[in-house]
Structure 1
Amino acid sequence: MSGATMAAAPAISREIPAAPDIETDVLVIGAGACGLTAALAAHDAGAEVVVVERDASPSGSTSMSSGFIPAPATAAQRAAGISDDDAGRFAADIQAKAKGTANEALVALAAREIGPALDWLADAHGLEWQVLTDFLYPGHSRHRMHAVPERTGEALLARLIAAVEAAGIPLVTEAHAQVLHLDEAGTVRAVTLARPGGGRETIACKALVLACNGYGGNPELVARFIPGMAGALYYGHAGNTGDAVLWGEAMGAARWQLSGCQGHGSLAHPHGVLISWALMMEGAIQVNAEGRRFSNEHGGYSEQAVNVLAQPGGIAWNILDGRLHAFAQGFPDYRDAVAAGAIREAQDIPTLAAATGLAESALRETLETTAEFAAGRKADPFGRDFTGRPSLQAPFYAVKVTGALFHTQGGLGIDESARVLAEDGSTFPNLFAAGGAACGVSGPDISGYLSGNGLLTAIAFGRIAGNSAASLRH
């Protein structure tokens, strides 16, 4: 869920409103990819649905993301000529990245359900998917990254909003959910919302779906659960203040792997524009303020946030060349970085040094050494395989970047129906969670994040949550 200002702390009440303002079968809190997917699923299952969103216009983490969703065995993947991918292979890739620490049941569930979810969104709601086949993101053994034609998270969200509007599902904005009203059995009976001008409204529901993302926008919770990222630049939506986690804590819900998160080691600084990690996979390098490489850039962009932040000043420089600069024009974020003046061009190493303020001798040594790696004459001490891609050649391009926290991956414990679990393993009768509100599939460490894991669980678990919630409408 989005929103730029801190409001009253989320609360639990045992008082049930006698006369709610609105009644609905399924209430969804949050209008990102997760909440909108849940709403569409519940609607398609025959339920009356209302979505509430704290912002005046939905945006949130979805619109700030690349919009790329990994999925195996989809119609779009088969149309791209990829027929040897399946849920088992995808689950193995997820666990390999998380070093076996991700919740096994949730990994299997996400890998199994995401393909059918994307096909359903295409067939039932007109979303158009393209599989990106020009590069592999770290950790993926097959080309399975799906995107809408515009290749942005903003466009993905716009298409989901259009589908919700076409389905006639009410989307109530400037409605900040603050109080969950539970009866003695733990059933959510209603939710109180803060409205513009200090007003309050209450919506009664037969089922509630929490799709209000994680807690990256709450510095206290970040320091508490992810101390290694305390003080790091947060590049998620400011409204992700941990409402679901705080509600769960107050009501005795299970909370799993709260230290899990997604970072990114390539955020243009100070411009705040994401620079696609596809450039690293295709041959770019990162150097620190001394002009030297400091890691294996193919390890993954999430843990690279920690590596970059550990460098002098917490910054690094992405170094690429004309070939990669041309390749990067296919990414809207990169074009935005060019327009913002974040990309610096140099015709040779001396001008590259002048443009970046880096030592010419160190830059020259770094580029000559990586050329040796690309030719196979030397092995990279950090373990990166440079063969298969040409070495960097003038003209050069550079962008100053920093590491950032993008979003959290831990959250409420859920079962295979996306129903929220209590600490004792029982379930709450009508409470569901998905996306950033629920535990994800990245394990407890920043290094466990496989590219696309955020939107993977937003859409896969969002659809499950919507279907499950709709079953309680009678």
Structure 2
Amino acid sequence: MSAPAIRRTLPDHVDIETDVLVIGAGACGLVASLAAHDGGAEVVVVERDASPSGSTSMSSGFIPAPATKAQRAAGIADDEPARVEHDIQQKAKGRAVPELAHLAATEIGPALDWLAERHGLEWVVLTDFLYPGHSRHRMHAVPEKTGAALLARLSAAVEACDVPVVTGARAQTLLADDDGTIRAVEIERPDGHRETIGCKALILACNGYGGNPYLVARHIPEMADALYYGHAGNTGDAVLWGEALGAQTRHLTAYQGHGSLAHPHGVLISWALMMEGAVQVNAAGARFSNEQGGYSEQAVAVLAQAGGTAWNLYDARIHDFACGGFPDYRDALAAGAIREGRTLADLAAATGLPEAALAETLEAVGRFQSGAQADPFGRDFTEKPALAPPYYAVKVTGALFHTQGGLMIDVSARVLRGDGRPFPNLFAAGGAACGVSGPEVSGYLSGNGLLTAVAFARVAGRAASARKS
């Protein structure tokens, strides 16, 4: 495969034509295609893989949204877009692009209700814990509570609308007029065969650049050697096309990390364990951070430990909680990643951690939980019970999940030029667009990835469909 490119000469012919062409068949691309279809447009989705998966399938599938019917049915009636916007900016230290934070907060609730009412997606709201930075229970998931299940339900909705998803088709070259209007896209098949698809509007839903080592080293060098736990196809095509067109980019230094990927098993361990009272210790058996600061920035803290690893340490109450609520945790248990000890000595033997240091750490945590002493890292332990035997532990590492910066868009999800003017028919959403996490890892609020994937995708699909005439 050659590098993504821009060609300023128009095609001699097109193999097929469509009103709206969507590049990428993850959650973002599928939601965009549904919105464009509902707007009356003819839509085609192209996907580089043999079957859609992307970052969505690798995620938890959780989407934060306020004022939805599902949220109200769960008894949460005091959430609103302004509160979500505040939480986004609070986590990003006020550095998220204001118009994008507002757009995401106001669009996501109606988008989830629309997906439920128009396309049959079923939402449940997670009410048994609060993710870091969220002031209300607003995490929505499909009943299976996995990203793979979310993608499967979106794929079924797209199929029911007879929207074609062309797989094994990597978008290679954008064919553009001198004014930046995209006239067609050349796709390449695995055997090298090329086809040209004409379009009236193009939506870039091909995620970020986490799978491009050159771009990672250039923009987020602290993660250049980190494990990448995103989709290999996230090679930054949208950013590279945008730069070639003279588009404006924003916050390319932003990304979502995660400080709890089972090692070496590669299974995500939900940060809900930390919110329930688990702690992280390094190879010396000592805590090294405030574990409730956020799982994204915790990736950096974990990677700074000896060997780039840490251990999540918790008890039977939290183990049972995780087994009951998180399929990924059950996968980790089945894979042998979870260690158990009826006593602290047993756990030390099972993990290789020093028993004396573990005892000292848990004694200190007990003092923090009783209120007898303040945690020097600033964590409040008083709202959860003290850890008690039997104990459990899982070895984890920090990882790069996906990037949060990208092409700057307006409130219609149109890509902006360097001078701030929009391109006539080029749209971007999800990881292809600038997100709402500000310029660095600590600005990532839980769910920001799927938040912008779904909210901006619906905006892009609606606006793109208006160009069909």
Matched, 1:339 2:334: yes
Alpha-carbon distance, 1:436 to partner? 0.2
2:19 to 1, 25, 30: 25
Partner letter of residue 65 of structure 1? S
Q: Distance in 2 between matches of 1:195 and 1:445?
A: 36
Shift of the alpha carbon at 1:437? Answer: 0.1
Deviations 1:111-144 (A, max 9, x none): 0000000000000000000000000000000000
Structure 2 distance, partners of 1:463, 1:269, is 36
Instruction: Name the CA distance, whole Å, in 1 between partners of 2:328 and 2:159.
Output: 27
SS of corresponding position for 2:311: strand
User: What is the alpha-carbon distance in structure 2 between the residues aligned to residue 373 and residue 185 of structure 1?
Assistant: 62
> C-alpha separation between the residues in 2 aligned to 1:192 and 1:207?
14
Shift of 1:388: 1.3
Partner of 2:191: helix, strand, or coil?
helix
The separation in 2 between residues aligned to 1:24 and 1:343, in whole angstroms, is 50
Task: Give 2:160's match in structure 1, choosing from 150, 166, 172.
Answer: 166
Q: Distance in 2 between matches of 1:197 and 1:370?
A: 58
Does residue 309 of structure 1 match 2:326?
no
Structure-2 separation of matches of 1:160 and 1:462 = 13
Asked if 1:148 is matched to 2:137, the reply is: no
Distance 1:100 1:185 in 2: 35
Q: 106, 110, 132: which one pairs with 1:112?
A: 106
Q: 1:208 maps to which residue?
A: 202
TM-superposed deviation, 1:18 = 2.2
Q: Distance in 2 between matches of 1:463 and 1:389?
A: 39
Residue number among 397, 411, 418 corresponding to 1:416 in the alignment: 411
Q: Distance in 2 between matches of 1:168 and 1:272?
A: 36
Distance in 2 between residues matched to 1:151 and 1:204, nearest whole Å: 38
Match of 2:314 among 320, 339, 342: 320
For 2:157, the aligned partner's letter is: A
Residues 297-317 of structure 1, C-alpha deviations (whole Å, 9 max, x = no match): 000000000000011111000
Q: What is the root-mean-square deviation in Å for CA atoms of aligned residues?
A: 0.5
* Alignment partner of 1:298 is 2:292: yes
Give the match for residue 85 of structure 2: 91
What is the CA distance between 1:197 and its match in structure 2?
A: 1.6
Q: Which residue of 2 aligns with 1:139?
A: 133
- 1:355 maps to 350
Cα distance in structure 1, aligned partners of 2:49 and 2:328? 23
Alignment partner of 1:400 is 2:395: yes
Letter in 2 for 1:457: T
1:191-232 CA-partner distances (Å, limit 9, x unpaired): 000013211000000000000000000010001011111111
Letter in 2 for 1:240: N
Deviation at 1:371, TM superposition (A): 0.9
Aligned equivalents of 2:134, 2:396: Cα separation in 1: 24
SS of 1:196's equivalent?
A: coil
2:386 to 373, 377, 391: 391
**Secondary structure of 1:197 counterpart:** coil
Q: Deviations over 1:278-306 (max 9, x none)?
A: 00000000000000000000000000000
Look up the match of 1:4: none
Structure 1 window deviating more from structure 2 (457-466 vs 12-21): it is 12-21
Query: How far is 1:19 from its partner?
Result: 1.2
Partners of 2:128 and 2:64 lie apart in 1 by 15
CA distance in structure 2 between the partners assigned to 1:197 and 1:217 by the alignment: 22
Aligned equivalents of 2:240, 2:306: Cα separation in 1:
36
1:440 aligns with 2:426: no
C-alpha separation between the residues in 2 aligned to 1:52 and 1:344? Answer: 43
Number of aligned residue pairs: give it: 468
For 1:130-279, list aligned pairs within 5 A: 130-279=124-273
Q: What one-letter code is carried by the residue in structure 2 that aligns with 1:342?
A: A
Question: Do residues 464 (structure 1) and 459 (structure 2) align?
Answer: yes
SS in 2 for 1:394: coil
Q: 1:3 — aligned with what?
A: none
Q: TM-score, normalised by structure 1?
A: 0.98
Structure 2: gaps of 5 or more residues = none
Identity within the alignment, %: 75
CA distance in 2, matches of 1:312, 1:181: 49
The separation in 2 between residues aligned to 1:438 and 1:199, in whole angstroms, is 29
- Dislocated runs of 4+, deviation >3 Å: none
**2:117 is equivalent to residue 123 of structure 1:** yes
Q: Does 1:284 align with 2:291?
A: no
Alignment partners' CA distance in 1, 2:131 and 2:22: 32
Residue equivalent to 1:431 = 426
Which amino acid in the other structure matches residue 465 of structure 2?
Answer: A
Confirm or deny that 1:377 pairs with 2:368.
no
SS in 2 for 1:318: strand
SS at structure 2 position matched to 1:450: coil
The 3-state SS of whatever aligns with 2:267 is: coil
Partner letter of residue 413 of structure 2? Answer: A
> Structure 2: which amino acid aligns with 1:119?
D
Measure the CA separation in 1 of the matches of 2:296 and 2:190.
37
Aligned equivalent of 1:53, options 25, 47, 51: 47
In 2, the alpha carbon distance for the partners of 1:199 and 1:9 equals 15
Q: Provide the rounded CA distance (Å) in 1 between the counterparts of 2:337 and 2:9.
A: 54
The letter of the residue matching 1:285 is V
Q: What is the CA deviation profile of residues 150-193 of structure 1, one whole-angstrom value per residue up to 9, with x for unaligned ones?
A: 00000000000000000000000000000000011110000000
Secondary structure of the residue aligned to 2:18 is: strand
Give the aligned residue type for 1:348: T
**The residue matched to 1:198 in structure 2 has which SS?**
coil
- Consecutive unaligned residues of structure 1, counting only runs of 5 or more, are 1-6
The residue aligned with 2:72 is 78
